[in-house]
Structure 1
Amino acid sequence: MLQQLLQQANFLALTLANPVSMAAEQAVIAGHTRVELWDSGVLVFTPLHTEATRDIVLSSGIHGNETAPIELCNQLIQAIVSQNLLLQQRVMFIFGNPPTINNHTRFVSENLNRLFNGEHANPHVASNGERLRAARLEAYVERFFMAADRQRLHYDLHTAIRASRHERFAVCPYRPDKPHLKQQLAFLNAAGVEAFLMHHEPTTTFSYASSTKYQAEAFTVELGKVMPFGQNDLTKLAAMRQMLVVLLSEREFPRVTYQPDKLVLYRVCRSLNKHYADFAFNFSNELPNFTQFAKGELLAQEQGIAITAAQDGEAIVFPNAQIPVGQRAALCVVADPAIPLA
Structure 2
Amino acid sequence: MQDFLALTLAGDTPAARCGETAHCRWMWWDEGVLQLIPHRASDRPLVLSAGIHGNETAPVEMLDELLNEAHRGELVLTRPVLAILGNPAALRAGKRYLSDDMNRMFGGRWQRFPESGETRRACVLEHCMERFLSGVDAAWHLDMHTAIRGSYYPRFGVFPARATPYEASFLDWMRDAGLQALVFHRAPGGTFTHFSSDHFDAQSCTLELGKAQPFGQNDLTQFALTKAALRALLSGVPAARRDETPLRFEVASQITRQSEAFKLHMSAQTQNFTAFTCGTLLAEDGDTVYRVENDTEYVLFPNPTVAPGLRAGLMLKTIA
Structure 1 residues 22, 138: closer, same or farther in 2, change over 3 A?
farther
1:258 to partner: Cα distance: 8.6
The 8 Å contact of residues 158 and 183 in structure 2, kept in 1 or not, is answered as yes
Distance (Å, rounded) in 1 between the aligned partners of 2:15 and 2:114: 27
Alignment partner, residue 172 of structure 1? 159
Distance (Å, rounded) in 1 between the aligned partners of 2:202 and 2:240: 20
SS in 2 for 1:247: helix
Equivalent runs, 1:144-223 vs 2, <5 Å: 144-146=132-134, 149-175=136-162, 177-223=163-209
SS in 2 for 1:151: coil
Structure 1 residues 258, 212: closer, same or farther in 2, change over 3 A?
farther
Distance (Å, rounded) in 1 between the aligned partners of 2:15 and 2:297: 49
Runs of 4+ displaced beyond 4 Å: 21-24, 255-259
Alignment partner, residue 31 of structure 2? 40
Alignment partner, residue 76 of structure 2? 86
Is 1:111 the counterpart of 2:111? The answer is: no
Alignment partner, residue 275 of structure 1? 258
Structure 1 residues 137, 336: closer, same or farther in 2, change over 3 A?
same
Moved more, 267-276 or 58-67: 267-276
Q: Of residues 6, 17, 27 in structure 2, which corresponds to 1:13?
A: 6
1:117 to partner: Cα distance: 0.7
Give the TM-score taking structure 2 as reference length: 0.95
Q: Any idea what the Cα deviations from partners look like across 1:228-262, whole Å, max 9, x if unmatched? A: 11111101111111111111112x6x367696x62
Is 1:310 the counterpart of 2:301? The answer is: no
The 8 Å contact of residues 24 and 39 in structure 1, kept in 2 or not, is answered as no
SS in 1 for 2:139: strand
Distance (Å, rounded) in 1 between the aligned partners of 2:269 and 2:93: 24
Alignment partner, residue 89 of structure 2? 99
Residue segments in structure 1 that go unaligned for 5+ positions in a row? 338-342
SS in 2 for 1:35: strand
Number of aligned residues = 320
Q: Of residues 206, 209, 220 in structure 2, which corresponds to 1:234?
A: 220
SS in 2 for 1:277: coil
Structure 1 residues 266, 110: closer, same or farther in 2, change over 3 A?
same
Distance (Å, rounded) in 1 between the aligned partners of 2:37 and 2:288: 55
1:300 to partner: Cα distance: 1.3
Identical positions, percent: 37
